[in-house]
């Protein structure tokens, strides 16, 4: 778990890179691969800027990502697999890399998508930009694999040193392009990009990603969240953005200010339905906690349930993984 926490922090690190340490790691990675050290080191302030640099790079030679990252990675994995056996390797990965993989892989893909969106002026430009992105070593966002290998050999020490001190990097025969780390990263409890009042991920040159609970949103969309009204929410044609608006505004507040009427009530609560043009209905169950708060009041909760729900009891039962007939609590809390 020690390695997992260390590499989780690396993956989420922000602030200026330690350029000296990162460049030393690059040189070590080249030597470990049996290559001459790169003659030039070029720094870029974001993956977007790095792609632009790479596209104009001359005299750099071919990409050596295969020798520097892919081959030693595969050989080290094979060594550990042979040493630990299938069950041992699976257990190691489950305890280390698997803890970080989903979050780091998703973030890397979001960055790639953002770079393509900003640089591809025409659809036919996308493939060439993606090919450049495939030449990148992911630095801090390779944390999942590096967590699995940490403390189990020194063949990947150079790669790990770059990851601890910088972002993505592009290795070529005679030159390397290295990216600064983000200057800001905001995520929710599930590790998804999430910020309502600015970029969820931002690099020093202004390249940024905007998201609400993991969903990409336009920057200008966030500016309007503070002034939302039920009419504005209903007028939004994009169903996904409308859902973001509802989550931000609050389902209970929307119901109250829209003059919505309950569609069913029983001993478990009240079922509300919000019809959404071009999208599935939003269905909520309003329930009151039977256990009083310290001041004697009873807190109200809103549970989102599937659109097919027809009764409040059915909705509450669904939150427990039961059907309506099977749900019969002895005492509600």
Q: For the chain (length 333 residues), average pLDDT per consecutive 10?
A: 87 97 98 96 98 96 96 93 95 94 94 96 92 96 94 85 98 98 94 91 97 86 83 82 83 79 89 81 84 78 88 91 69 49
At residue 333, the pLDDT reads 47
Contact 289/301 with Cβ under 8 angstroms?
Answer: yes
Task: Single out the residue in 149, 181, 213 at which a domain terminates.
Answer: 181
Has residue 199 been placed in a domain?
no
Task: Single out the residue in 146, 181, 216 at which a domain terminates.
Answer: 181
Task: Single out the residue in 150, 181, 212 at which a domain terminates.
Answer: 181
Residue 273 shares a structural domain with residue 177:
no
Residue 105 shares a structural domain with residue 171:
yes
* Token reading at 268: 């478990």
Residue 147 shares a structural domain with residue 13:
yes
Provide the residue range defining the domain that includes 265.
Answer: 227-319
Q: How many residues does the chain have?
A: 333
Has residue 244 been placed in a domain?
yes
Residue 165 shares a structural domain with residue 256:
no
3-state secondary structure 121-177: CCHHHHHHHHHHHHCCECHHHHHHHHHHHCCCCCCCHHHHHHHHHCCCEEEECCEEE
At residue 309, the pLDDT reads 92
Residue 143 shares a structural domain with residue 16:
yes
**DSSP secondary structure letter of residue 214:** T
At residue 329, the pLDDT reads 65
Phi, psi for residue 230 in degrees, rounded to 5 = -55, -40
Number of domains in the chain: 2
At residue 200, the pLDDT reads 96
Residue 253 shares a structural domain with residue 157:
no
Has residue 331 been placed in a domain?
no
* Alpha-carbon radius of gyration of the chain: 25
At residue 135, the pLDDT reads 95
The answer for residues whose C-beta is within 8 angstroms of residue 190's C-beta and 6 or more apart is: 214
Residue 77 shares a structural domain with residue 168:
yes
Q: What is the pTM of this model?
A: 0.79
Residue 245 shares a structural domain with residue 305:
yes
State how far the Cα of 86 lies from the Cα of 289, in Å rounded to an integer: 48
Residue 36 shares a structural domain with residue 121:
yes
Three-class DSSP category at 295: coil
């Amino acid at each position: 778990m020690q390695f997992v926490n260390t590499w989780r922090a690396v993956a989420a690190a922000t602030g200026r890179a330690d350029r000296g340490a990162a460049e030393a790691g690059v040189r070590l990675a080249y030597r470990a691969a049996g290559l001459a050290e790169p003659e030039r080191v070029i720094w870029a302030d974001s993956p977007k800027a790095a792609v632009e640099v790479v596209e104009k790079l001359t005299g750099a030679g071919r990409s050596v990502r295969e020798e520097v990252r892919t081959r030693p990675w595969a050989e080290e994995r094979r060594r550990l697999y042979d040493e630990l056996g299938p069950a041992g390797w699976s257990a190691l990965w489950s305890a280390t890399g698997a803890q970080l993989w989903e979050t780091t892989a998703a973030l890397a893909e979001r960055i790639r998508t953002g770079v393509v969106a900003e640089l591809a002026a025409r659809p036919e430009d996308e493939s060439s930009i993606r090919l450049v992105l495939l030449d990148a070593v992911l630095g801090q966002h390779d944390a999942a694999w590096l967590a699995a290998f940490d403390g189990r050999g020194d063949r990947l020490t150079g790669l790990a040193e770059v990851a601890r001190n910088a972002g993505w990097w592009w290795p070529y025969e005679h030159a390397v392009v290295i990216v600064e780390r983000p200057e800001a990263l905001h995520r929710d409890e599930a590790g998804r990009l999430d910020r309502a009042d600015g970029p969820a991920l931002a690099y020093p040159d202004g390249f940024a990603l905007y998201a609400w609970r993991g969903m990409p949103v336009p920057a200008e969309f966030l500016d309007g969240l503070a002034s939302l009204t039920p009419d504005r929410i209903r007028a939004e044609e994009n169903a996904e953005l409308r859902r973001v608006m509802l989550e931000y505004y609050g389902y209970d507040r929307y119901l109250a200010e829209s003059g919505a009427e309950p569609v069913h009530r029983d001993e478990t609560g009240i079922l509300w339905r919000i019809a959404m043009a071009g999208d599935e209905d939003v269905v909520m169950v309003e329930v009151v906690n039977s256990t009083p708060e310290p001041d004697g009041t009873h807190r109200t909760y809103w549970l989102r349930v599937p659109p097919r729900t027809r009764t409040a009891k059915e909705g509450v039962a669904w939150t427990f993984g039961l059907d309506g007939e099977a749900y019969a609590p002895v005492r509600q809390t």
